[in-house]
Structure 1
Amino acid sequence: MLRNSVTFLGTGGGRIVVFRQIRYSGGFWLNLEGINILVDPGPGSLIRIYEFGFDPKDIDVVVVSHRHLDHSADINSVIEAATESKKNPLKLLVAPDDVTDGEDPVLLKYLKEGINKIEHVEEGKEIIFKDIKIRGLVKHIHEGAKTYGLEFKSQNKNIVYVPCGKFYEEMLIRFPENADLMIFNTTFPKPVEGYYHLSIVDVEKMIKKLRPKKAVITHFSIPMLKANPEKLAKKIYKTTDISVIAAKDGMRIHF
């Protein structure tokens, strides 16, 4: 397993793209200093794990940014496979509390027995696992689900994940500057009234202010695909001088 890399098990966002599987929707596999973290196991995540050369038994941590199905639909299948039906418990699950508890949790109750530790994300809370820290950064404005920006940090590297949500000015302050890698769920080319998702316009503002060493856009809707994500990534690079990559299914990026 190559250290300090992220592999995109899916780059689809929005109902049409995800539920017609125009792009895959398996989340991403982060390897940070040898620790394997599966983030947002949406529909088909278990299949894509095998397709792209991984093994669910190697997962150390599962992270769910929020409970919407395009980010969590495969959580139970992945945990069942990773733990070999709870025989070898998953070390850690990190998620907002509405993923695991309450009246309508996404995680099936019987699978909790196959998880050594469940940590709930909160703003500013640091969750320590071996030599890395997972930190909730800022609560997003996202309808129907508690959602938080996340930082994954080792002694030498930090990766920032900006999941779904409506842009607001606090995001320019609460996300850290100069991250080694920032991953943006970028659903639209332009802001769309009534939809709580980031656009290229929003992401460009954040990159200009936060100046990551490298940025990735992913989680594309039909309008984004029609607008050509690669072209839009180049546009942001021209205005910010920051390397921006439009993710593709199965793409692996080193940092």
Structure 2
Amino acid sequence: MLKNSITFLGTGGGRVVVFRQIRHSGGIWLNLEGTNVLIDPGPGSLVRIFEKGFDTRDIDIIVVSHRHLDHSADLNSVIESASESTKKPKDLLIAPLDVVEGDDPILLKYLRKAIKEYVPVEENKTIPYKNIQIIGTIKHIHEGADTYGLEFHSENKKVIYVPCGKFYEKMLEGYSENADVMIFNTTFPKKVEGYYHLSAEDVEKMIERYKPKIAVITHFSVAMLKADPEKIAARMSRKTGVKVLAAYDGMRLNF
């Protein structure tokens, strides 16, 4: 297992791309200082994990940014597999309350025992785990789901995950600067009114503000794929002076 690496199990975003599997949608596997974190296990995550040479039993932490199915549909399957049918509970689940509690939770009740500890993510909340910290940053504006930005810190490394949401000015204040890697769910090439998703134009502003060492765009809609994410990433690199990569299914980034 490569320490300090990010593998994109899927890069699809938006209902058409995800639910027609034009791009895969398995989420992100982060290894930070030897701790394995699965982020946003959307449809197909269980399959993609094994396909890419990982094993669910090696997962230490599962993190869900919000309850929409393109980010959480395989949560139960992954937990069932990772815990060996609840016999070996996993250490930690971090997710908004509406993923686990309430009238319509994503996590099935019988699988609560497959997790040793559940911690709800909140704004400005730091959750320690061994030699790393998971930090809930700002709450995003995202229809029908409590959604939070997330940061993953170790003593020497910092990874930021910016999930879906409508751009607003607080998004230029709520994250840390100079991360080793900053990952953006970049659904549209240009702002689309009425949709609660980030565009490349929005992300460009955030890159200029936070100046990560590397920025990665992912979670692409049909419009984004037609516009060519690699061309958009190259343009963003030129404009911001920051190295911007367009993720592809199975891409592994060492940092």
TM-score normalized by the length of structure 1: 1.00
Distance 1:113 1:137 in 2: 27
Coordinate RMSD, CA, aligned: 0.4
* Corresponding residue for residue 72 of structure 2: 72
Q: Which AA in structure 2 matches 1:89?
A: P
**Which residue of 2 is the match for residue 59 of structure 1?**
59
Asked if 1:83 corresponds to 2:83, the answer is yes
Q: Separation in 1 of the partners of 2:57 and 2:173?
A: 38
Q: Which 4+ residue blocks in structure 1 deviate beyond 4 angstroms?
A: none
Residue 211 of structure 2 is matched in structure 1 by: 211
Q: Secondary structure at the match of 1:248?
A: coil
For 1:232 and 1:61, the matched residues in 2 are separated by: 32
Give the corresponding residue for 1:95: 95
Distance apart, 1:17 and its partner CA: 0.2
Offset of residue 135 of structure 1: 0.5
Once residues 175 and 98 of structure 2 are traced to their aligned partners in structure 1, the CA distance between those partners, rounded to angstroms, is 23
Shift of residue 59, structure 1, vs aligned partner? 0.2
Correspondence for 1:227: 227
Distance 1:209 1:158 in 2: 16
SS in structure 1 at match of 2:84: coil
Q: Hey, what's the Cα distance between the residues in 2 that align with 1:224 and 1:232? A: 9
Deviations 1:125-154 (A, max 9, x none): 100110110001100000000000000000
- Specify every segment of 5 or more residues in structure 1 that has no aligned partner in the other structure, as ranges: none
2: distance between equivalents of 1:196 and 1:218? 16
- Counterpart residue number, 1:23: 23
Residues 1:194 and 2:194 aligned together: yes
Give 1:2's aligned residue. Answer: 2
Residues in 1 aligned to 2:99 and 2:173: alpha-carbon distance in whole angstroms: 27
1:135 partner amino acid: I
The residue type paired with residue 20 of structure 1 is R
2:105 alignment counterpart: 105
Q: Which amino acid aligns with 1:167?
A: F
Distance 2:23 2:186 in 1: 14
SS in 1 for 2:27: strand
SS at match of 1:26: coil
Alpha-carbon separation, structure 1, partners of 2:179 and 2:114: 33
* C-alpha distance in 2 between matches for 1:143 and 1:222: 20
Matched residues in 2 for 1:105 and 1:208: separation?
37
Once the two structures are superposed, what CA deviation does each residue of 1:201-230 show, in whole Å capped at 9, x if it has no partner?
000000011100000000000000000000
Map of 2:185 onto structure 1: 185
Q: Which residue of 2 aligns with 1:147?
A: 147
Report the AA paired with residue 47 of structure 2.
I
Q: Distance in 1 between matches of 2:191 and 2:32?
A: 33
Offset of residue 21 of structure 1: 0.2
Q: Deviations over 1:181-204 (max 9, x none)?
A: 100000000010100000000000
Taking the aligned partners of 1:174 and 1:77, their CA distance within structure 2 comes to 33
The 2-side partners of 1:59 and 1:231 are apart by: 34
Task: Work out the number of aligned pairs and report it.
Answer: 255
Where in structure 2 are there 5+ consecutive unaligned residues?
none
Give 1:69 deviation, angstroms.
Answer: 0.1
Q: Secondary structure at the match of 1:150?
A: strand
Show CA shifts across 1:59-105 (max 9, x none).
Answer: 00000000000000000000000000011101000000000000100
What is the CA–CA distance in structure 1 between the aligned matches of 2:251 and 2:160, rounded to whole Å? Answer: 18
